[in-house]
Amino acid sequence: MLDTSRPASRILAVLELLQNRPGITGPQLAEELEVSSRTVRRYITTLQDMGVPVETTTGRFGGYSLLPGFRLPPMMFSDDEALGLAMALLATRHTREMELTPGVQSALTKIERILPPDLVGRMNALREGISYPEIPELGQASFPDPTLLARLAQACLATNRIWMRYSRPNGEESARTVDPYGIGALFGRWYLHGWCHLRNERRTFRIDRIRRIDVLEETFEPPDDIDVMDAIERSLALAWSGWNIRLEVAAPAEDVSTFLPRHFAIVEPIDEDRCLVSAASSDLEWFAWRLARLPYPMHVLEPPELRDAFRQHADRLAAIAGGEDLPNR
């Protein structure tokens, strides 16, 4: 999108190069812009006349740079950069029906406003030409407020304690003080993992359910070598209401883990040849169907109703294997 055939565009290109490559030399600028060294000096003089603090270093290793601390916001995008930004912004939604958050939509609109028509057409093609999975649960979610997400990330990095209002699925809200350990994204959801002082234990929170946060001056000491993504996945594996599940599998934990992702179940070794699988589920029949993929002997510890779900699954498969006809319609 940068037309360096025009002097004004070249001057802006010089400014961008000075910002990105401090100390760049006159010959290097001339090569980048395909102009003479004399023309480069004229561009530098023009920038200085405009009040841009360009410093010149003489000598064998001399070059041009901006005064330390001086920055201008990006003033232009190449075609690839503009399309890349559009892709990143559009990727914040996970279904075609999911609306972009106001800040994301506003940024996308501003980018489209400054682009030539042919590039806007290519961006619209990105918007309309991408297929999304039909996942109702994700379709009901919303991308977190970018401002809130950024404040959370800063609190995590600075180890500042936060106060927040958190909404449950039924709409009830609670006030909590949390030590934020880290943020992770999984299957279109964004999560915060940390120590909840209300429950006095580590908890994982969906960020799109956080209604407000205040970053406190008080700091905390995070656990050593915490794996935030592993902690989030483990929390999700035990988050379902209904049934708490435990079973012993006659196979090494690392082998079983290849069949059961961490957000589905927690797999812990008992010894070299056995492991314990722990999870939670609201649908035992579905869970039994997923566990049936394991090619290893297993023993259900709890709940006993899971054995019934396995039995029903086995009867259904036996009927199919026996060639039973479909029921009459």
All domains of the chain in start order, with CATH: 7-66 (1.10.10.10), 79-138 (no CATH), 146-225 (2.30.30), 238-320 (3.30.70)
Residues 6 or more apart whose Cβ sits within 8 Å of residue 139? 94, 95, 97, 98
**Residue ranges of E strands in 151-310:** 160-167, 173-186, 189-196, 201-206, 210-219, 243-249, 266-271, 274-281, 298-302
pLDDT tens series, the chain, 329 aa: 444 455 666 777 888 888 788 888 888 888 888 888 888 888 888 888 878 888 887 656 568 888 876 665 555 666 777 777 777 777 766 555 566 777 777 777 777 776 777 777 877 777 776 665 554 444 455 667 778 888 999 999 999 999 999 998 777 899 999 999 999 888 778 899 999 999 999 999 999 899 999 999 999 999 988 899 989 988 888 888 889 999 999 999 999 999 998 888 999 999 999 999 999 998 999 999 999 989 999 999 999 999 999 999 999 888 888 877 666 65
pLDDT of residue 29: 87
pLDDT of residue 115: 72
Query: Of all helices (H) and strands (E), which one includes residue 57?
Result: strand 54-57
Query: Of all helices (H) and strands (E), which one includes residue 267?
Result: strand 266-271
pLDDT of residue 39: 87
Q: Measured between alpha carbons, how far is 16 from 327 in angstroms, rounded to an integer? A: 71
Q: Measured between alpha carbons, how far is 206 from 140 in angstroms, rounded to an integer? A: 13
Residue 65 · residue 23 · CB < 8 Å? yes
pLDDT of residue 96: 58
The amino acid occupying position 286 is W
pLDDT of residue 3: 44
With both helix axes pointing from N to C terminus, report the angle between 117-129 and 79-90 in degrees, rounded to the nearest 10.
30
Q: How many CB atoms lie within 10 A of CB 267?
A: 24
CA-based torsion, 101, 105, 106, 108: positive or negative: positive
The amino acid occupying position 180 is P
Rg of the chain taking only CA atoms, in angstroms: 29
131-152: burial string, b at 16+ Cβ within 10 Å, e else: eeeeeeebbebebbbeebbebb
At residue 63, what are phi and psi to the nearest 5 degrees? Answer: -175, -165
- Tokens representing 264? 């589905």
Return the bridge partners of 189, or none. Answer: 186
pLDDT of residue 139: 42
Residue 180 · residue 156 · CB < 8 Å? yes
Of 164, 171, 167, 196, the residue nearest 181 (C-alpha): 196
